[in-house]
Every structure is written in C-alpha cells, then in structure tokens.
Structure 1
C-alpha cells in the first residue's frame, strides 16, 4: 500500500527529547499519578497520528515482552487489559493463566519512528493478579512497591545508575545461530576508546546514543570498551524504577539499532573466551530532602555510617543474592579473576576485583558501586535485591568483613544451591517466587555442562533466557 495515504505520527529527535524530558521531570517531582493519567489519555485521544500504544513488561527472568494495542481500544479499555500468563516463563500455571496489565502512566515514552515504527508511543505495564494487587512474580511491581513505601514512610528516594556493557557481532541473530556456528565474529578489532569515525562499531554507538538521547536518557559519555567490538553508552542516574526501565530500553534500543545495521548487539556476560566480559556496574545512593545520605566528608572514604552499613549487608549476603545478580550459566565465565572480574566478596576504593567498590565522590556523587552484576540479569530483581539487602539485611559475624578472603561462586550450580539454601532470599522474594526462579535457572543449567571449561559451549548460549525461544528449547 502506498505510504501517501498514511499520516502517522513522526516527530523529530529534538521534539522527542523535549517530550520525554518533560515526562521525566514529572516523575522527579512526584506529580500525582491521576493527573498524569488524565494528561496521557487526553494526548492519546487528541493526537490523530497515533495508531498504537506499545505496552512493555518483563518476565521473572527479565526478558522483555511487548504488546501493541490499537490506540482507540486502549483508550477505552486501559483498565482491563488481560493476557495469558501461562505463556510467560515463570508466571502463572496453565490452570490459573489469566493476568491483567495495568499501565504505569509515569513510564510513558515517545519513540523515534525510524527505530520503533511511525504512529507509536510506549508505556510500561504492571502485571496485576486476580485480586487486583501487584503480581508476585512481576519484580518491577515489587520494586516499585518497595520504593514507594520507603518514600512515603521515610522520605527516601532510591537512586541508581547502571553502566551496561555489550558486544556488537556480525550478522543478524548471531546468538541464535551460535549453536550451529560455534563462534561470534567481531565487527571491530580495536579496544578501549579505540574506534575510528565511520567504522561499524562507532556508527552503531553514535546511532544508539542518538536514540537514547531522544528518549530522555540524558547521556553522559559513550565509547568502545576493553574487548574488541565491545561498547558502553553511559547516561545519568534516576529513581530506581526509572533506572531499571532504562536498562530494558537501553538493551532494546541497542538490539534494534544493531539489527537495522545487519548486526547483533549481545548482552551475554562472556560471549568470547580470552577477552574481558561484559558487566553491568550498578551505582546506587539514597537521598532525602535532596541530601545524599551516603555522603559524610569526615567518614571513611567520604562515606556515611549508613553507607558502610549498606555495604556490609551486601557483603554478608553476597553469596545469597549472587544468582539474582548473575542469573545465567554464561555469567560465571565473567567471574574470572584473570579479566578484572569482581568475584571477591569485599569492598575497596581501588581494587576492581572487589564485589563492591567505593568510587571517588562528593556530596552530589557519593555512591556504592556493586560490580558483580551481569548485563543479562533482571534489572528489577537486581535493584530490588541490592536496595532491600543493603537496607534490611543482616550484618554477619565475619572477621574483617570488608577485607575477607571470600569469593563468589564460579558456576551456576553452586549459586543455585546458595540461593535455595538462604533464608534471606525467601524474605526477598517469598517462597513461591523464589522456587519458580530457582527452577528456571536449574532448567537452563541442566542443559549445560556443569564444568564450564575454557570454551563457550553452544547450550549456554542456546538456552540463555534472553535468547530463549520454544523452537530452540525443544531441540534439547
């Protein structure tokens, strides 16, 4: 059909950035959700160029799902959007399949037409159970509920900024073809900061960064990383739920841009042996009345007692929550001390092999950096477990806790055992969701060699939760 008859919404990148930053400002100012909902519904009703609303949500493992609703249908039925939960890994059983999607009008995005299609806007959904409350396996909803409770009761704002690394490989669907090819092909042979203008990696980074900027990410810097064909695009911190949403959007943008360029953006933690893997360094802080509660000029490393208590609780529960931070077979290849791996359960201002690092900071930037996080982990589960553990966890009776010679697991089987045997993870997730998550991880692990060896194996890619499809899973 000729495009001459279509008049779908296509905004410039400048217009998109202005709209997305205005929405972001509303979130920062805690504008009443009823007012935002009214504004968004009016906008959808009045803007004729919009044909569909893309509603996104994430499953228990962190895999992103998207549904396009016709705009007119959504405007009339936004409070009764049902879907089959039994089709989502880790959600309901077939006999209790019906779930609903509520719309988080706070998390509304205007998207570039050349990347996401014309005439579309995007909003994050909240999974709702039959009783009308947050669904226990929707970790976004659990994180949001926890953050709102702390804000209402203590005035705390939970802040996060994540440094998400990835690889760019030749060919579309390079990951899904790996079990046939047995290798990935770099698009760039350079290294840290090493990329010429106009080469494929630089063009990819430039394009993805422009899309992020248009979507209100407020970029800071971008560059090739240490390994060949590796990249990182940094953006500013945000409230904890928005920060987790942005991780999902970051990976979606990178994958879509790479696909349009005939390549694959991969967030496997260690897709290639012999070079540095990809991490998702997670920087967190807590503010109250715009004051950074982690800062104390007179404190050790410029950090407050609250910050050190937060760190000590993370270290105490390091092995308990490791599976939530490193949730794939492949993630344990990255926890290799030969490649700056943060596998030591200790805190340090300088040693990058530490699970927790204390970056140089001031009153504005003082923060805790949890380094032992894989880029393929569920971002909502990561940030929920980090904040709840740091605030509500226990401090163990361990001598020299911050300098202890303890290590994170080097394989997923040990991580699953630690996770299942921990009382703390039951407190975090509840017994039912905890066991569902463990079963999903066990199912992937059982399809892969227990001993990793030195070469990346086909099954650890083929049965990875971000690459999963029913066809590949059925080939086991």
Structure 2
C-alpha cells in the first residue's frame, strides 16, 4: 500500500528523546501509577496517528516476547488482556494456561519509526495470575515487588547499570543458521577501541547508539571491544526495574539494527573460541534519601562496611546463583581464566578475574561490580539474585572469604547441581519456579555434549534459549 494514504506517527529523534526522558523522570520520581495510567491513556486516545501498542514481557529464561495490540482495542481493554501461558517456556502447564497481561504504564517508550515502524509505541507488560497477583514465574514482577518492599521498608532505592557486550556477525539469523554453517563470520577484525569511521561495526554502533539516545538511555560511551566484531554501548544508571527493562531494550535495538543492516547481533557469551567472550558486568549501588550507602571515604577501597557485607553475601552464594547469572551451556566457555574471565569467587579492586570487583569511585559513583554475568541471562533474574542475595543472604564463615581459592563451575552440569541443592535458591525463587527454571536448563544441557571441548558445538547454539526455534527443537 502506498505510504501517501497513511498518517502514522513518525517523530524526529530529538522529539523522541524529549518524550522518553520526561517519562523516565516520572518513573524516577515514583509518580503514582494511576496518575501515569490516566496520562498515557489520554495520550493514546488523543494521538490519532498511533495505530498499535507493542506490549513486551519476558519468559522465565529472559527471552523477550512481543504482542501488538490495536491502539483502540488496548485503550478499551487494557485491564483484560489474556494470553495462552502454556505456549511460553517456563510458564503454565496447558491445563492452567490462561494468564493476563497488566500494563506497566510507567515503562512506556516512544520508538524511532525507521527502526520499529511508524505509528507504534512500546510498553512493558506484567504477567498476572488467575488470582490477580504477580505471576511467580514473571521475574520482572517479582523484582518489582522486591524493589518496592525495600523502598517502603528501608527507604532503599536499588540502582544498577549494565555493561553489555555482544558480537556483530555477517548475515541475518547467523545463530539460527549455525547448525548448517558451523561458523560465525566477523564483520570487523580491528579489536579493542579500533574501528574506522564508516566500517560496518562502526556504523552499527553509531546507529544503535542513536536509537538508544532517542529512547532515553542517556548514553555514556560506546566502542569496539577486545575481540574482533565485538561491541559495547554504555549508558547511565537506573532504578533496578528500569535498568533491567533497558537491558531487554538494548538487545532488542541491537538485533533490530543489525537485521536491517543484513547482519546479526549475538549475545552468546562465547560464540567463538580463541577470543574474548562477552559479559554483562553488573554495577550495583543502593541509595537512601539521595545518599549512596556504598560510599565511605575512610572505608576499605573507599566503600562502606554495608557494601562489603553485601559483597560477602554474594561471594557466599556465588555457586548457588551461578546458573542464574550464567544461564546457558555456552556461558561456561566464557568462564575461562585465559581470557580475563571472572571465574574466581573473590572480591578485588584490581583483579579482573574476580567475580566481584570494587571499581574506583566517589560519593556519587561508588558501587560494586558483579563481573561473572553473561549477556544472555534473564536480566530480572540477575538483578533479583544480586540484590536479594546481597541484602538478605548468609555470610559464610570461610576463612578469608574475599580472597579464598574458590572457583565458579566450568560446566553447566555442576552449576545445575549447585543450583538445585542450594537452600538459598529456594528462598530466592520459591520451590516451584526454581524447579521449572532448573528443568529448562537441564533440557538444554541434555541436548548438548557433556564436555565442552574446544569447538563451539551447533547444539549449544541451536538449543540456546535466545535462539529458540520450535522446528529445530522438535528435531532432537
């Protein structure tokens, strides 16, 4: 159909940035949900050029799902959006398949028309169980409830910023084709910080950064990473649920931009052996009344005793939560000490092989950095694990806990055993969700060789939760 007959919303990147930053500020100030809901519904009603609202939610493994609702239908029926949960991995069984989607109106984004299509906006959904409460396998909802509880009970605001690395490969759907090609092809071999203006990697980074900026990410820096065709695009801190949402949007934007360029953005932790893998270093701090509780100019490494206890709890449960932070067979290729891998369960200001690093900071930026996280992990599971463990976990009596000779698993089977056997993961997720998550990871692992070996196997890509293809899984 000719575009001249359509009148769909298409805003400049500057207009998009203004709208998204204003919405972000509302979220930051905790404007009442009913106030934001009324404002968004009025906007959707009045703005005739919007045709559809894309509602997104994440399954138990962190894979993003999208549903497009006709705008007029959504405005009338936003409080009764049902869907078949049995079709979502890790959600309900077929006999109890009906779930509902609520709308988190504070998590509302205006999107660039050239990337996502004209006349659309994105909003995050909340999965609601048949009793009207947060669905236990929707870890976004669980994280949101935990963050709200911490604010109401202790006055804590949980903050996070994630450094998400990925690879850019030649060809569309390079991951889904891996079982046929057996290889990934780099688009650039320049390496760390080096990419000439106008080459494919630089064009991809520039375009992605522009989209992020338009969507209110508040970018900080972007650059090629150590490995060939590897990238990292950094943006500012956010409150914990907003930060997790931005991880999902970051990966969605990267994949969409890459596809439009005829390439693939991959967040497999170690898609190519012999070069550095990709991580998702997770920077964490907690504020109260605007004060950073992790800062102490007189403390060890200039962080507070409160922060060190937070670190000690994460170190205590490092093996328990490893499967949540490193969620795929491929993740355990990355935890290789020969490539700056953070596989040591210790804390350090300087050793980048440590699971937890204490970066140089000041009153504003003091934080702890959990370095062992893979970029394919469910971001809501990651941040729930880090914050709930850091605040409520146990502290081991292991001598010299912060520097003890302890290591993360080098294979998913050990990680699965640790996860299943740990009492803490039952406290963290509940027995039912814990069992569902472990069963999903076991199913992927059982489709792959027990030993990783030196070559990336097609099965660890083909049966990866992010690459999931029903046709290929059915051929096992």
User: TM-score, length-normalised on structure 2?
Assistant: 1.00
d(CA) in 1 for partners of 2:208, 2:250: 8
Report 1:258-407 matches (<5 A): 258-407=258-407
Which residue is equivalent to 1:215?
215
Report 1:54-453 matches (<5 A): 54-453=54-453
- Structure 1 segments of 4 or more deviating over 6 A? none
d(CA) in 2 for partners of 1:367, 1:14: 32
d(CA) in 2 for partners of 1:122, 1:64: 13
Which residue is equivalent to 2:462?
462
d(CA) in 2 for partners of 1:33, 1:95: 33
d(CA) in 2 for partners of 1:75, 1:136: 27
Residue-by-residue CA offset, 1:335-377 (whole Å, 9 max, x unaligned):
0000000000000000000000000000000000000000000
Residue-by-residue CA offset, 1:218-274 (whole Å, 9 max, x unaligned):
000000000000000000000000000000000000000000000000000000000
d(CA) in 1 for partners of 2:199, 2:225: 15
Secondary structure of the corresponding residue to residue 106 of structure 1: strand
Secondary structure of the corresponding residue to residue 22 of structure 2: helix
Tell me, yes or no, if structure 1 residue 46 matches structure 2 residue 46.
Answer: yes
d(CA) in 2 for partners of 1:152, 1:37: 22
Which residue is equivalent to 2:19?
19
d(CA) in 2 for partners of 1:47, 1:384: 37
d(CA) in 1 for partners of 2:2, 2:447: 48
Residue-by-residue CA offset, 1:45-94 (whole Å, 9 max, x unaligned):
00000000000000000000000000000000000000000000000000
d(CA) in 2 for partners of 1:472, 1:196: 38
Tell me how far 1:456 sits from its aligned partner. 0.3
Secondary structure of the corresponding residue to residue 54 of structure 2: strand
d(CA) in 2 for partners of 1:122, 1:199: 31
Secondary structure of the corresponding residue to residue 259 of structure 2: helix
Task: Note the residue ranges of structure 1 that are not aligned, 5 or more in a row.
Answer: none
Residue-by-residue CA offset, 1:447-468 (whole Å, 9 max, x unaligned):
0011100010000000000000
Secondary structure of the corresponding residue to residue 86 of structure 1: helix
d(CA) in 2 for partners of 1:397, 1:442: 31
Residue-by-residue CA offset, 1:310-338 (whole Å, 9 max, x unaligned):
00000000000000000000000000000
Alignment size in residue pairs:
476
d(CA) in 2 for partners of 1:97, 1:243: 30
d(CA) in 2 for partners of 1:451, 1:45: 56
Task: Note the residue ranges of structure 2 that are not aligned, 5 or more in a row.
Answer: none
Tell me how far 1:397 sits from its aligned partner. 1.2
Root-mean-square deviation (CA), in Å?
Answer: 0.3
Residue-by-residue CA offset, 1:175-204 (whole Å, 9 max, x unaligned):
000011100000001100010000000000
d(CA) in 1 for partners of 2:469, 2:459: 13
